[in-house]
Amino acid sequence: MNMPGATELMAIALVALLIFGPRKLPEIGRSVGQAMREFRRTSQEVMDTIHGALEAEEPEPVHKSSRRQSTPVTEEED
């Protein structure tokens, strides 16, 4: 999908100005900005939750050096 160029953005801004008027346009821009910030924050929280759940389910690899070697138990003679 191609991004709109400068001409298309100017046409969209002109149509928005004609429909909503100069007084409502800044208010609409703030509302859209707040909605985008909220969406980004929420999506980041969801991604963090998913990553945390996936990391909790992964078993930790066992390295040879971290295994405890058992020593044979011998009986002591008195």
3-state DSSP of 33-64: HHHHHHHHHHHHHHHHHHHHHHHHHCCCCCCH
Rounded average pLDDT over 12-19: 90
Burial degree of 51 (CB within 10 A; 0-12, 13-18, 19+) = exposed
Rounded average pLDDT over 59-76: 61
Report pLDDT digits (tens) over 20-56: 898 998 998 899 999 999 999 999 999 999 998 888 8
Average pLDDT, the chain: 82
Rounded average pLDDT over 45-72: 74
Domain boundaries, the chain: 22-54
Can you say whether the dihedral through the CA atoms of 15, 21, 26, 28 is positive or negative? Answer: negative
Rounded CA-CA distance 48/56 in Å is 12
